[in-house]
């Protein structure tokens, strides 16, 4: 069976009634094309389902209109939502996105992902990997003259970046619990080799110290629901329990909610939980999760817009970094701490917890 013939520039030119050179100028977004002609050529491309031969453009040394994204595991909700926002904005601006995933947080893994993108002749690179400043600078050096923008580094780093303020987000969650009257607050962090996890943790510690408080307990997860569940299960089965848990992302918070349910601990009546990220599913947890919102659509839009500005206007000044605000989304997993002096109520809860465990044997 013969392979269908690909639509060529000549086909588009004939269909639109223009020259081959005019179609090429439209593809390369040249300024010297009349708007009516551009619209006619683009309509012809759509009608013929024309797909530009990016490889040919790259071999000719032309701009590929392709952006590279180096990202952490897209099975996690936050990186996945970020990648989706980046692809949407890039498409709006006429760019394609290729993604290279970094399976761990080691420098060599990030460098390998970036080299893979460079090999595909991308025009610029977005890096959504938590990197220490020294490692980020080394990765940037690997990119040569390509524009690079970082999405998960220390806000103090001398790098072009678009970030959410981790200190602000951590304080918002903590201050919400303190205002409700909580003092026995456990912390469930992400892996501390992640700069974003560490900065959130430091924000919580700083806020507690200001109130002359210490964490009830500190647990270190790996961002997954499973780690949140296992760590919370151990914590909540202790004789003394916190009245609230601050969790470094929503997926681990989902695991905490399941552990609380399994232990017979009512949320929020006897345990308050605050997540972080405001991923799309968090409003549909049971109960709906109080969390710290990061607007991934906004960060995706801004990061692509700024990178494209650098590509299309290289003579202009660097667009500069941007630190975005976070927002407390108060839902149904937080309330004032329950009475801890009601021994009858505590005994009833403890018996209920034991009964649930016996049912699982």
Residue 132: burial class (beta carbons within 10 Å; 0-12, 13-18, 19+):
middle
Check whether 301 has a pLDDT greater than 70. Answer: yes
Can you tell me the distance from the alpha carbon of 283 to that of 279, in angstroms, rounded to the nearest whole number? Answer: 8
At 110-165, the pLDDT tens digits run 999 999 999 888 999 999 999 999 999 999 999 999 999 999 999 999 999 999 99
Q: Minimal CA–CA distance to 232: which of 194, 289, 205, 241? A: 241
* Pick from 25-39, 271-285, 315-329: least confident: 25-39
Check whether 192 has a pLDDT greater than 90. Answer: no
* Pick from 17-21, 26-30, 100-104: least confident: 26-30
* pLDDT category of residue 338 using cuts at 50, 70 and 90: confident
Encoded tokens for 218: 């500190």
Mean pLDDT value of segment 202-208:
97
pLDDT at 48: 87
Check whether 303 has a pLDDT greater than 80. Answer: yes
207 with 175: CB under 8 angstroms? yes
Q: Minimal CA–CA distance to 330: which of 165, 168, 172? A: 172
* pLDDT category of residue 349 using cuts at 50, 70 and 90: low
pLDDT at 65: 87
Structural domains in the chain, sorted by start: 9-51 (1.10.260.40), 66-159+295-324 (3.40.50.2300), 166-294+331-359 (3.40.50.2300)
At 150-177, the pLDDT tens digits run 999 999 999 999 999 999 999 999 999 9
Strands (E), the chain: 66-71, 96-101, 124-128, 148-150, 162-164, 185-189, 217-220, 244-247, 272-274, 291-293, 322-324, 327-329
Question: What share of the chain has pLDDT > 90, as a percent?
Answer: 66
- Strands 291-293 and 327-329, by their bridges, are antiparallel
Mean pLDDT value of segment 221-231:
97
Torsion, Cα 16 17 18 19, to 10 degrees, reads 110
- Strands 124-128 and 327-329, by their bridges, are unpaired
Question: Residue 173: helix, strand or coil by DSSP?
Answer: helix
Check whether 60 has a pLDDT greater than 70. Answer: no
Rounded (10°) angle between helices 250-262 and 77-92: 150
């Amino acid at each position: 069976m013969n392979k269908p013939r690909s639509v060529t520039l000549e086909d588009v030119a004939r269909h639109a009634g223009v020259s081959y050179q005019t179609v090429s100028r439209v593809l390369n977004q040249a300024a010297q094309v009349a708007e009516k002609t551009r619209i006619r050529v683009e309509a012809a491309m759509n009608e013929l389902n024309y797909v530009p031969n990016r490889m040919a453009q790259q071999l000719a040394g032309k701009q590929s209109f392709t952006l590279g994204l180096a990202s952490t595991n897209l099975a996690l909700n936050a990186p996945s939502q970020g990648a989706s926002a980046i692809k949407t904005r890039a498409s709006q601006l006429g760019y394609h996105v290729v993604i290279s995933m970094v399976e761990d947080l080691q420098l060599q893994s990030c460098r390998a992902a970036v080299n893979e993108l460079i090999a595909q002749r991308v025009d610029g690179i977005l890096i959504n990997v938590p990197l220490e400043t020294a490692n980020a600078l080394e990765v940037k050096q690997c990119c040569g003259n390509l524009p690079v923008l970082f999405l998960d580094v220390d806000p103090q780093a001398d790098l072009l970046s678009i970030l959410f303020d981790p200190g602000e987000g951590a304080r918002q969650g903590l201050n919400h619990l303190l205002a409700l009257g909580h003092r026995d607050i456990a912390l469930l962090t992400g892996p501390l080799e992640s700069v974003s996890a560490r900065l959130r943790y430091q924000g919580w510690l700083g806020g507690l110290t200001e109130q002359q408080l210490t964490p009830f307990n500190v647990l270190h997860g790996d961002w997954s629901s499973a780690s949140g569940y296992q760590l919370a299960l151990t914590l909540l089965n202790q004789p003394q329990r916190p009245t609230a848990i601050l969790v470094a992302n929503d997926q681990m918070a989902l695991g905490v909610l399941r552990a609380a349910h399994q232990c017979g601990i009512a949320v929020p009546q006897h345990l308050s939980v605050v997540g972080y990220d405001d991923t799309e599913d968090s409003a549909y947890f049971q109960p709906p999760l109080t969390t710290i919102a990061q607007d991934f659509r906004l960060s995706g839009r801004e990061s692509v817009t700024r990178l494209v500005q650098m590509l299309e206007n290289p003579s202009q000044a660097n667009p500069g970094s941007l630190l975005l605000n976070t927002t407390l989304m108060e839902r149904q997993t937080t309330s004032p701490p329950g009475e801890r002096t009601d021994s009858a109520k505590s005994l009833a809860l403890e018996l209920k917890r034991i009964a649930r465990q016996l049912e699982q044997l």
